[in-house]
């Protein structure tokens, strides 16, 4: 009897201890005007202090810092100068996601309850590749929506002419679905409903929510395999008559140009990126793998960073952090600011530069052979695999080209 | 007043109606927005309260000595120019880019550039004046409306000054009808890009009988919130001042034609002085 009482006291104490600590898994929500954006948060208090992760389905990324003081919880996402501030009340967290835009703070209500989001049922007929049309105020624009049944239930991505919107995860209820992507910067919710069947072609209709309030209607039909988007290689062109020219400082402030001996006679891949750009984060590991696989055979890669602040010290720190995060062994240069027009102006040989990242393949003579505008991230599955394969084939092809006569051994 | 509004709406068979008059407590999301806004006004380097000048870059702007376009105490002569959308600051220490919508430190000042390429605008910030930041009317649940957004009679693009005095390429989004005053008023709604990719806000720039008698003389902005299924919420408790209310460095948006409410909208942000003394009088061109 006394043992039972002691066990009860211990259980109550543990329960009290658990409920007073944010160390747990959380079903988190950003309350957008058009609905709930659901994601996961996991927090733990280890030997080295508090840490945590933000999860879209099974894909998670660490918070840059987690601070817990009393009932206050601060979850920071330094890459995007954003944070979630929340107050712990028993089994719930309530507060807001904030970052600062040009016209003041961007504030989206945040709430969370202990536990994990349930895995959604088999999405059935939703699975597949859908040719979608975004219907804006003044015309339409194409997208591809890929939906699949993943480990965490419904997963997928949205692909545009310049790459993908990252990994989406969500729930299915009957013929309706909601997919979300929240990475600390981009706030996306895709809601839709399946129509058709019984002799009528399958159709998806829904809304694409961006940020707190922007909503774009869309409609999609099942892809027949025909082209719906422009290939990534058709968006940006370049002057191919002359070697591709660049001259920017490295992270120690020394100006590096295409004439630097490290590039002489080599196949060079130029990666135009920014540490603020989530798609660039998807591309970085693939570039590292490409470099490791082909460096010995004569491949060199140079990353041109277009950053946010315009303050050399701040931008240099951000790029160093990016280099360390992805263990990038190739050269990174600080090229400018993250404005497509400004970037285009700094690389005069490019025509139609529109997107971050853009990957430029140079032959051994330094001239442009191919340009990929955008990047299909891992969330695009087959598209991603094909792009990685294409990159390797391109590098194989360029390495097989004859060296320019003046540079032959 | 409320009964009159509902009666007017019922009489005209309008889809707009006031929400049920339950709690007058400030909803947490509005409290959070106000707290973030107040904190930003009080402490951010690019707070409108710290602004000392805003000027189109045009063919070039000189900064620094007393004879410069923008004299700045303790700053050597500098020149700001725009080429291919890139705004550059040149001075004795060399050239630096001012990224759109971001900050660059110059001595005791902070510079930003914003707006469309070819029409970039330079804003110079100094020390925050630590003036009163923002005050609001008590929350009024009776000034929250829901209803449809009617399509625009003349769809099209229009250049407007946004909240921050920067020219923005907006689109006509339609109109809403609100039962305020003696008869329902039709308000023009425009979709204005926020600067974040894929994001925009449905905005209404309106005037009412509190202007210059509690609220900013030139009028205020309020966002229309999409609720789904063709329904929208218009909550005048979210009405906020254009930046010209905080500092005369910012130009004020011209009133939007027709967006005048002949009643007192005693909700949202009040005017505490410090901005332009008088409302603009130039009517909108279209």
Check: CB of residue A144 under 8 Å from CB of residue A156.
no
Contact B99 A107 (CB under 8 A): no
φ, ψ for residue B75, nearest 5 deg: -115, 130
Q: What is the CATH number of domain A232-403?
A: 3.40.30.10
Cβ neighbours around B190 below 10 Å, total: 23
Does A251 contact chain B (CB < 8 Å)?
no
Edge-first strand order for the sheet with A104-114 is A59-62, A49-56, A35-46, A24-32, A104-114, A92-101, A82-89, A72-77, A65-69
Among residues B279, B284, B276, the alpha carbon closest in space to that of B256 is found at B284
Domains A22-114 and A126-222 share a fold: yes
Give chain A positions within 8 Å (CB) of B94: none
Average pLDDT on B167-173 reads: 91
Q: Do B199 and A34 touch (CB under 8 A)?
A: no
Evaluate whether A305 touches A273 at the Cβ level (below 8 Å). Answer: yes
Chain B CA closest to residue A102: B101
Going by pLDDT thresholds of 50, 70 and 90, the confidence category of residue B8 is very low
Q: Which portions of chain A are predicted below pLDDT 50? A: 1-2, 10, 12-18, 407-409
Residue B20: is its pLDDT beyond 50? no
- Per-residue pLDDT at A101: 67
A33 and chain B: CB distance < 8 Å anywhere?
A: yes
DSSP A164-230: E---EEEEEETTEEEEEEESSS-EEEEEEEEEEETTEEEEEEEEEEETTTEEEEEEEEE--SS--S-
Among B97, B166, B201, select the one facing A342 at the smallest CB separation.
Answer: B97
- Predicted confidence band at B1 (pLDDT cuts at 50, 70, 90)? very low
Number of other residues whose CB lies within 10 A of the CB of residue A207: 17
Using CA atoms, how far apart are residues A166 and A182, in angstroms rounded to an integer?
9
Lowest mean pLDDT among A186-190, A354-358, B215-219, B249-253: A354-358
CATH tag, A22-114: 2.40.128
Average pLDDT over residues B268-283: 62
Q: Please report the pLDDT score of residue A89 as a whole number.
A: 93
- Residue A191 contacts residue A176 (beta carbons within 8 Å): yes
Number of CB atoms found within 10 A of residue A354's CB? 16
Chain B residues closer than 8 Å to A163 by CB = none
Residue B132: pLDDT band (50, 70, 90) is confident
Distance CA B221, CA B100 (A): 23
- Residue range A126-222, CATH number: 2.40.128.120
* pLDDT at residue B142 in the model: 92
Domain locations along chain A = 22-114, 126-222, 232-403
User: Which residues, 6 or more positions from A48, have their beta carbon under 8 angstroms from its beta carbon?
Assistant: none
């Amino acid at each position: 009897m006394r043992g039972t009482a002691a066990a009860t006291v211990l259980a109550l104490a543990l329960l009290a201890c658990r409920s007073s600590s944010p160390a747990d898994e959380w079903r988190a929500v950003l309350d957008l005007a058009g609905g709930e954006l659901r994601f996961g948060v996991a927090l733990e208090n280890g030997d080295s202090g508090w840490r945590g992760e933000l999860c879209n389905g099974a894909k998670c990324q660490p918070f840059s810092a987690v601070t817990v003081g009393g009932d206050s919880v601060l979850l920071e996402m330094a890459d995007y100068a954003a944070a979630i501030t929340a107050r712990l009340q028993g089994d719930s967290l309530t507060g807001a996601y904030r970052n600062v835009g040009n016209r003041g703070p961007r504030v989206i209500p945040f709430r969370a309850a202990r536990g994990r989001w349930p895995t959604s049922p088999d999405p059935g007929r939703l699975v597949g590749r859908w040719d979608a049309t975004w219907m804006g105020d003044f015309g339409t624009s194409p997208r591809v929506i890929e939906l699949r049944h993943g480990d965490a239930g419904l997963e997928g991505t949205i692909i545009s002419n310049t790459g993908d919107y990252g990994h989406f995860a969500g729930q299915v209820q009957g013929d309706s679905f909601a997919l979300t992507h929240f990475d600390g910067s981009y706030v996306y919710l895709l809601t839709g409903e399946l129509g058709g069947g019984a002799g009528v072609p399958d159709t998806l209709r829904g809304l694409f929510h961006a940020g707190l309030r922007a909503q774009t209607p869309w409609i999609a039909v099942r892809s027949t395999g025909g082209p719906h988007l422009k290939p990534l290689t058709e968006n940006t062109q370049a002057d191919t008559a002359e070697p591709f020219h660049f001259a920017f400082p490295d992270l120690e402030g020394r100006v590096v140009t295409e004439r630097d001996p490290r590039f002489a006679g080599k196949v060079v891949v130029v990666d135009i990126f920014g540490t603020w750009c989530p798609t660039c984060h998807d591309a970085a590991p693939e570039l590292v793998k490409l470099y490791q696989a082909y460096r010995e055979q004569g491949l060199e890669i140079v990353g041109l960073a277009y950053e946010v602040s315009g303050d050399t010290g701040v931008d240099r720190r951000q790029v160093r952090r990016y280099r360390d995060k992805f263990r990038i062994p190739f050269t990174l240069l600080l090229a400018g600011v993250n404005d497509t027009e400004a970037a285009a102006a700094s690389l005069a040989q490019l025509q139609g530069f529109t997107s971050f990242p853009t990957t430029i393949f140079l032959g051994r003579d330094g001239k442009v052979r191919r340009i990929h505008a955008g990047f299909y991230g891992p969330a695009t599955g087959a598209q991603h695999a094909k792009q990685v394969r294409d990159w390797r084939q391109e590098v194989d092809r360029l390495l097989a080209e004859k060296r320019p006569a003046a540079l032959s051994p | 007043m409320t009964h009159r509004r509902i009666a007017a709406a019922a009489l005209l068979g309008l889809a707009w109606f006031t929400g049920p008059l339950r709690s007058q407590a400030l909803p947490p999301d509005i409290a959070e927005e106000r707290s973030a806004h107040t904190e930003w006004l009080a402490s951010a380097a690019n707070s409108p309260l710290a602004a000392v000048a805003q000027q189109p870059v045009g063919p070039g702007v000189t900064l620094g000595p007393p004879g410069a376009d923008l004299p700045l105490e303790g700053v050597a002569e500098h020149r700001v120019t725009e080429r291919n959308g890139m705004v550059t600051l040149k001075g004795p220490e060399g050239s630096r880019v001012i990224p759109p919508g971001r900050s660059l430190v110059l001595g005791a000042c902070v510079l930003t550039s914003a707006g469309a390429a070819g029409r970039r605008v330079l804003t110079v910030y100094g020390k925050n004046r630590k003036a009163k930041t923002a005050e609001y009317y008590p929350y009024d649940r009776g000034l929250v409306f829901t209803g449809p957004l009617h399509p625009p009679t003349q769809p099209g693009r229009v250049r407007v000054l946004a909240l921050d005095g920067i020219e923005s390429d907006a689109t006509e989004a339609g109109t809403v009808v609100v039962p305020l005053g003696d008869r329902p008023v039709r308000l023009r709604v425009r979709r204005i890009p926020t600067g974040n990719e894929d994001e925009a806000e449905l905005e209404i720039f309106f005037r009412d009988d509190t202007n210059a008698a509690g609220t900013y003389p030139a009028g205020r902005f309020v966002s229309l919130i999409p609720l789904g299924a063709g329904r929208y919420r218009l909550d005048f408790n979210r009405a906020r001042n254009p930046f010209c209310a905080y500092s005369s460095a910012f130009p004020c948006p011209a009133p939007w034609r027709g967006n005048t409410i002949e009643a007192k909208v005693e909700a949202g942000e009040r005017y505490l002085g410090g901005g332009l003394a008088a409302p603009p009088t130039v009517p909108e061109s279209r």
